[in-house]
Amino acid sequence: MKAWIKHSAIVVAALSLAACSAVPDRLQVANEDALVAYEMVLEAPNANNGETARWGGVIAEVRNSDSGTVIEVVNFPLNSWGRPVPGEQSSGRFRATLNGFVDPMVYTQGSEVTFTGTVAGVEKGTIGEYNYLFPLLNVSAKYLWPERKEKAQMEVNYDALWYRHYYYTRPFYPSPVYIPGPVMKEQPKQGNN
């Protein structure tokens, strides 16, 4: 009995550690609970400046200049390991500022990306002709997610499933046997003329 408890405790501890380290190493922070949510910056634009955040989404645009790179991102919520979960509704856009050059052929429009960095207030800009207020994130770490594989269309052969279902659900009954017999043709009725 004691061995079972000991093994159970080891399994629970291993699962807990695995759950904690699900976020890619370069995106991990010292205190996950202190991360600033994207929506908090929208509510109070300058209240969280300098605090740590982890945001992600889908790349809308990459702009390089001599002073660094700005990546405009359509923000989506992140799953437990930090990957964006794109959907029909976004909570908005943000701009991630990075030192150095980021190749727009690698960080392509529509790619999923997650950033860790510090909140740097907001910046006025436009999306098309629409005036927009972009939260800013000074990036300390970035992670470009591999492209999702589309679910392949598969053709399933149900023949084997039928066979197993039919015989495994009737284990105690004999299988019916059908013996083809002669085909009887109906005789024409003879009536009185």
pLDDT tens profile 80-101: 999 999 998 898 999 999 999 9
Q: What is the pLDDT of residue 19?
A: 47
Q: Using one digit for the tens of pLDDT, what is the confidence trace for 26-60?
A: 999 999 999 999 999 999 988 999 999 999 999 99
Decide if 119 is inside a domain: yes
In a domain, 106, yes or no: yes
Local structure of residue 45 (DSSP, 8 states)? T
Q: Is residue 166 situated within a structural domain? A: no
CB count, 10 Å around CB of 42? 15
Which residues form the domain of 65?
Answer: 21-144
Report whether 111 contacts 149 (CB < 8 A).
no
pTM above 0.75, yes or no: no
Q: Are 68 and 98 in contact (CB under 8 A)?
A: yes
Give the pLDDT confidence score for residue 152 in this predicted structure: 45
Q: Tell me which residue of 107, 52, 57 sits closest to 78, measured CA to CA.
A: 57
CATH code where residue 49 lies: 2.40.50.140
Q: Where are the beta strands (DSSP E) in 89-144?
A: 92-98, 112-127, 130-144
pLDDT range class, residue 181, cuts 50, 70, 90: low
Per the structure, the count of domains in the chain is 1
Reading the block at residue 37, the tokens are 């949510």
Asked if the structure places residue 174 within a domain, the reply is no
pLDDT tens track for 138-169 = 999 999 999 988 644 444 444 555 454 555 55
